[in-house]
Amino acid sequence: MTSLSKSSLDTDSRFSIGKIFRLNKLGRRILSLVIFFGVWQFLCAIKFHFFINFNFLPSPIEVVEATWEFFHDDPWVHFRSSILRVLLGYTIASILGIILGIFIGAWQKVDDFLSPPLELLRPIPAVAWIPLAILMFPTAEAGMIFITFVGGFFPVLISTVKGVESTINDTVLIRVGQCLGAKSWHIFKDIVIPGALPSIASGLVIGMGNAWFCLVTAEILAGRYGVGYITWESYVTSNYPPIVMGMLLIGLMGAISSWAISHLTSALMPWRSIEKQDA
Amino acid sequence: MPEIAVQSQSSAQLTYGLVEVQDLSICFEDKRQTTTTILDKINFTVEPGSFVCLLGPSGCGKSTVLNTVAGFINPTEGKILVDNQPVTKPGADRGFVFQQYSLLPWKTVFQNVEFGLKIKGIAKTKRRELVKEYLNRVGLYKHRDSFPHQLSGGMKQRASIVRALINSPSVLLMDEPFSALDAQTRHMMQELLMEIWQDFKTTVIFVTHDIEEAVLLGDRILVMGVNPGHIKEDIAIDLKRPRHIDDTLTPEFIQISRQVLATIREETLKSMEC
């Protein structure tokens, strides 16, 4: 309870506006979401149109209805398709990103050869990859996996490179290895890689979110199934509520999987999770 | 090189760990092509098994001398010999204790200390035995599974010291290892170091800017001057061992400290001018 509860705002009745300030942190956060959806619903209901047009925007209620329908009509075939595509694309992206990242971070010559083309490709947005995906890959499925791959690859690559580079630049730790008799291999395995792990982990988390983010783009190529496909199809057929539903579902799956990656990688870094004790 | 067992009381003089620094000069050329001489013809010899302190104000290059003996830096001129072998690169025969942040954060105390042994290929059971002995010696055994960030400064340095010693180096190089600790911990660590050193009698080269520390710990103090770095004076410390913190308050100690202070004062003022 904050001291505002005793302010003059609260003198009249127990149901005055002062009550809002008496909510705790959770209460305030829930209230903020209620207000958010409430305003959205309101603006749709009154068909608000002043520069921004709320006429065609689905209201929260319509989105909930669409979600209800979606879950009643075999949603799992869509979830399965999408999850498999992201998983495959992301796994390949992580493995390739980490391996290349280590080589580029550790060896100047590799950096000189690989960085220029990669830097050219990195800024290209997922949508722009669609034509190439169609032309270069034998199946639409492969093309879709490629686009989620692109989403996951670059964050993992860059953070691996930075992690490796910054550990190599830590003169003290490298010298620690040297004066204990460590050869290059030991320095790499016991100092450089563990030192780079936190950076790699954050890249993996960002890459996962990004891979989901590219999913809608990827599933523009999809035949019949997929959450991103549903979203795109709904847009094309002017059925708007499922668009918002699809966006939210993808966002949710992205957040859940990022959280999962975050926890998995934390398990690999036990030295970072324990509380400090006094000695 | 022979391994030293923890319990050995070697009263006999060690025959290895001779360090010879001959005409060591280090010059540095910056981007504007101006040459700065950091060290100018440093010459000294450290007898096996002796404890020598390199004392000087900040910036005199004492850490640079240590880094060259360690093999982290190559001299511009001159050479370093350890047991008559020239030093070209770092190695396990020259153990190093850094000032701070030197324990590998992702390894436990146990794993940090056993690291050098693991690299050498020593068997797991033997490693475990040795690490246990050494950790017990400095009172860290019960923290063997802790990570460095869970330890206090003193504990971390204790771990760093045994991590270096467990490899039986010919020379132990220590770069202001206690400077980052608070005064009480520093005193404790100085006493602990002297105790351990009595057991191992490894050659030690100890860099410090603290006069009291240098007089307390060393058999000999090499006082360094600045601009460029050079050895100004070589002072023998004849105080009896074993020494304790209380000794710093005796008249003889104070007298020696005064002598050292006089030598160093000039250099400290000079170092503050540039």
Q: Where are the domains of chain A?
A: 3-57, 64-270
Mean pLDDT on A134-143: 91
Per-residue pLDDT at B170: 92
Q: B111 lies in a domain?
A: no
Per-residue pLDDT at A275: 54
Q: Could you give the dihedral angle defined by the CA atoms of residues A211, A217, A218 and A221, in that order, rounded to the nearest 10 degrees?
A: 170
Please identify among residues 149-168 of chain B the ones whose CB lies closer than 8 Å to any CB of chain A.
149-152, 154-155, 163-164, 167
Q: B209 lies in a domain?
A: yes
Q: Tell me which of A19-23, A241-245, B90-94 is least confident.
A: A19-23
Per-residue pLDDT at A38: 93
Residue A56 pLDDT exceeds 90 = no
Q: What percent of chain A has pLDDT over 70?
A: 90
Any CB–CB contact under 8 A between B115 and chain A? yes
Residue A165 pLDDT exceeds 90 = yes
What does CATH list as the number for A64-270?
1.10.3720.10
Choose from A170, A172, A175, A180 for mutation: most chain B CBs within 10 A: A180
Binary contact (B115, A190; C-beta < 8 A): yes
Any CB–CB contact under 8 A between B90 and chain A? yes
Per-residue pLDDT at B273: 72
* Structure tokens given for A115: 């960085």
Q: B151 lies in a domain?
A: no
Residue A4 pLDDT exceeds 60 = no
Measure B122 CA to nearest chain A CA, in Å.
Answer: 13
State the Cα angle at A87 between A84 and A88, rounded to 5°. Answer: 85
Query: Within 13 Å and on the Cβ side, how many CA atoms surround A203?
Result: 26
Binary contact (B143, A173; C-beta < 8 A): no
Per-residue pLDDT at A10: 45
Measure A279 CA to nearest chain B CA, in Å.
Answer: 6
How many Cβ pairs within 8 Å bridge chains A and B? 78
Per-residue pLDDT at B4: 43
Binary contact (A279, B120; C-beta < 8 A): no
Per-residue pLDDT at B33: 81
Phi first, then psi: give them for residue B39, nearest 5 degrees: -125, 140
Residues of B in contact with A278 (CB under 8 A): 152
Which residue from B113, B147, B107 is spatially nearest to B128, judged by alpha carbons?
A: B113
Per-residue pLDDT at B226: 83
* Structure tokens given for A137: 């890959």
State the Cα angle at B266 between B265 and B271, rounded to 5°. Answer: 95
Per-residue pLDDT at A55: 87
Per-residue pLDDT at B228: 83
Q: What is the pLDDT of residues B214-254, one digit of tens each?
A: 999 999 999 998 878 889 899 999 898 889 999 999 999 99
| Strand pairing class (B171-175; B203-208) | parallel
Sign of the CA dihedral with A87 first, then A91, A94, and A97 last: negative
Choose from A176, A186, A269 for mutation: most chain B CBs within 10 A: A176
* N residues, chain A: 279
Q: Which residue bears the tokens 């879709």?
A: A144
Residue B62 and residue A173: Cα distance in Å, rounded? 20
Per-residue pLDDT at B2: 45
Q: Rounded to a whole number, what is the largest CA-CA distance in chain A? A: 77
Q: Which of A176, A269, A278 sits opposite B104 (nearest CB)?
A: A176
Q: What is the pLDDT of residues A82-116, one digit of tens each?
A: 999 999 999 999 999 999 999 999 999 999 999 99
Q: Which of A172, A186, A278 sits opposite B102 (nearest CB)?
A: A172
Residue A191 and residue B103: Cα distance in Å, rounded? 11
Measure A92 CA to nearest chain B CA, in Å.
Answer: 27
Average pLDDT value over all residues in chain A: 88
Residue B204 and residue A230: Cα distance in Å, rounded? 73
Binary contact (B106, A197; C-beta < 8 A): yes
Question: In a 10 Å sphere around its CB, with 0-12 CB exposed, 13-18 middle and 19+ buried, how is residue A231 labelled?
Answer: buried
Residue A132 and residue A120: Cα distance in Å, rounded? 15
Q: B207 lies in a domain?
A: yes
Residue B178: domain span: 19-101+170-273
Q: What is the mean pLDDT of each run of 10 residues along chain B (274 residues)?
A: 42 70 87 84 92 89 93 92 92 93 94 94 94 94 94 94 94 95 94 92 93 94 88 90 91 92 83 70
- Which residue has better confidence, A275 or B17? B17
Amino acid B201 reads K
What CATH code is carried by the domain that includes residue B86?
3.40.50.300
A200 and A156 Cβ atoms separated by less than 8 Å? yes
**At a CB cut-off of 8 Å and minimum separation 6, what does A136 contact?**
A143, A146
Phi first, then psi: give them for residue B155, nearest 5 degrees: -65, -40
Residues of B in contact with A192 (CB under 8 A): none
Residue A168 pLDDT exceeds 60 = yes
Any CB–CB contact under 8 A between B177 and chain A? no
Per-residue pLDDT at B3: 44
Residue A9 pLDDT exceeds 50 = no
Residue A225 pLDDT exceeds 50 = yes
Structural domains counted in chain B: 1
Per-residue pLDDT at B11: 41
Q: B186 lies in a domain?
A: yes
- Which residue has better confidence, A3 or B230? B230
Binary contact (B72, A176; C-beta < 8 A): no
Q: How confident is the model at residue A135 (pLDDT cuts 50, 70, 90)?
A: very high
Residue A199 and residue A158: Cα distance in Å, rounded? 9
Task: State in Å, rounded, how far the first CA of chain B is from the last one.
Answer: 44
Phi first, then psi: give them for residue B13, nearest 5 degrees: -70, 135
Task: State in Å, rounded, how far the first CA of chain A is from the last one.
Answer: 36
Those residues of chain A whose CB sits closer than 8 Å to some CB in chain B are 172-173, 175-176, 178-183, 186, 190-191, 194-195, 197, 269-271, 274, 276-279
Amino acid B152 reads S
Sign of the CA dihedral with A195 first, then A200, A201, and A206 last: positive
pTM: predicted TM-score of the whole model, two decimal places: 0.81
Binary contact (A271, B149; C-beta < 8 A): yes
Residue A265 pLDDT exceeds 70 = yes
- Which residue has better confidence, A77 or A223? A77
